[in-house]
Each structure stands twice: as structure tokens, then as C-alpha cells.
Amino acid sequence: MQLGVFARTFARDSLEANLDAVRDSGFICTQYNLACAGLSTLPNEIAPELCQRIRTAHTERGLAMASISGTFNIIHRDREVLEANFRRLGTVAQACALLGTNVITLCTGTRDRESMWRRHPDNDTVEAWRDMVASMRRITNIAEENQVIVGIEPEVNNVIDSAAKARRLIDELGSPHVKVVMDGANLFHTGQLARMHEVLDEAFEHVGRDIAIAHAKDLSHDGDAGHQAAGTGLLDYDYYLQLLKQSGFDGPLITHGLSESQVPQCVEFLHGKLAL
């Protein structure tokens, strides 16, 4: 596996300085966000010259762009906001070939009006699933038109709150352009942490064959997504990495949920685990 990081972990004045910090910290790939290049995550336009600058900056530092963020609440209740985000996602997808990546990461949405990372009871309704699938069909069309993969992340606070639901969605869409972002710290509903190995086993049984990239972070409790640096919480990393390897995954392992000051300890921890 190739160890990478959310590029936004490092706040710098230029995209080159940002990627200097990524390289100097021992990472070899990024989950990139266009905010690191002075744009919004989903901009209205991306100049080809900027795409080339970002790609060159990665290449010169021996870095690969494993994926780029295309995250927005895909079941946002404001139709005007939603339509604008679909257009902007298309802009990012069109730029992927120039940027040097073919994976866009997504959020499968929540009915919460204020945060796309907060659970809402209406996420479990038939209507929320219907709206999510309708959005994902549009997103899948964007992915197919631009020959990219979109990675959905099972996350307890979103509509796709389990690997079983991710499997259902992937099967319903029936497109090879829809894959999974696996994050072992995002899977535990309230009361499930005591069944850690069982929950992880179930997740890999459902979607282990469809992993585009994997995330490395940690959690302190169940009922919420993890927000801690890998190795500082309760996730059994030996077991998680073992399941990734057994699934045949050997791609990017992207760490996030950490401050810059935590990076050295996190890199040492993950390098140690990956060497086993």
C-alpha cells in the first residue's frame, strides 16, 4: 500500500509549499483538495494552466494524486444549491485527466441542514434513499462521461451508513465507475464497537472487492465517524490492515483526521504496521 495524506492537513501559502510538506513528511500520494491551490473544493472553473501546475508540482516531488475531493451533500434540500454542485462536480471530473488522477471522493449525503457530516433520522427514510440514488445516477453519468471513478464512503452519519448499503447502491447503479472509499473508523453504529471484528468482517465481505482507496484514521467511540489520528484510538489496526491485504487491496492508504503536529507519530505508526 502507498501511504498518503489529505493535502489539506498542511496549511501553506502556495500549492508548491503544501506539497513540499507532504513529501517531507514521508508521504508518497495525496487525496487532493483544490482548496490547496487557492480554489474552492468544487470551483466553477479550473484553468488548464493551474491543472498542469498542480500535476507538475506532484510529479517533481515524487508524489501521486491518488484522488481528489468532490465532496458535497448530494441530497441537499435546496435544489438550486444541488444543481450548482452537480455542475461544479462536472468541472472537477473534466479536469481529472489534466490533474493526473481518476478517482473523485464523495459524500452520500444527510438530511441535516447544517452539516453533511451529521446524522439525521430522516436519512433512513425511503425518500432519502430515493433522492440519494437519483443524485448518484447523475454523478455516475458524470463519471462515465469523463472516464473517472467516484468513491463513496460508508459513514454512520450519511445515507450510506454501512457497507451493506454501499453494496446495495453499487449493485443498483451497475457501473464500474462507482467504487468504495474504505474507512474502518466510520463503520460503527452505537453499541457496535464491542463487535469490532465482526463489523469489519461484514464490511469487507460486502465491498472488499470494490475499494478504490482506503482511509487511515481512528475513533474514540461508536455512534459517530472517527475523528482521530491513526493509532491514537480504538480501531484494531492490525486487523483492519490485514483485511485490506486479504481483500487484495494494495492501493493508496490515506491518513486524515489529524493535525500537522500529529503527522510524524502517525507516519511512524502506519509505516510500522505496514511493515508487518
Q: Where are the domains of the chain?
A: 2-251
Using one digit for the tens of pLDDT, what is the confidence trace for 104-123? 999 999 988 778 777 889 89
CATH for 2-251 (3.30.1160.10, 3.40.50.300, 3.20.20.150, 1.10.3470.10):
3.20.20.150
Tell me the sheet residues that pair with 67: 31
In the chain, which residue ranges form alpha helices assigned H by DSSP? 15-24, 48-60, 79-99, 126-146, 163-173, 196-207, 237-246, 263-274
Residue type present at position 228: Q
Please say whether the beta carbons of 218 and 226 come within 8 A: yes
- Comparing CA positions, the residue from 32, 40, 45 lying closest to residue 5 is 32
| Overall size of the chain counted in residues | 276
Low-confidence residues of the chain, pLDDT below 70? none
What's the CA gap between 154 and 187, in Å, rounded? 7
Model confidence over 5-53: pLDDT tens digits?
999 999 999 999 999 999 999 999 999 999 999 999 999 999 999 999 9
pTM of the predicted structure, to 2 decimals: 0.96
The number of C-alpha atoms within 13 Å of 105 and in the hemisphere containing its C-beta is 25
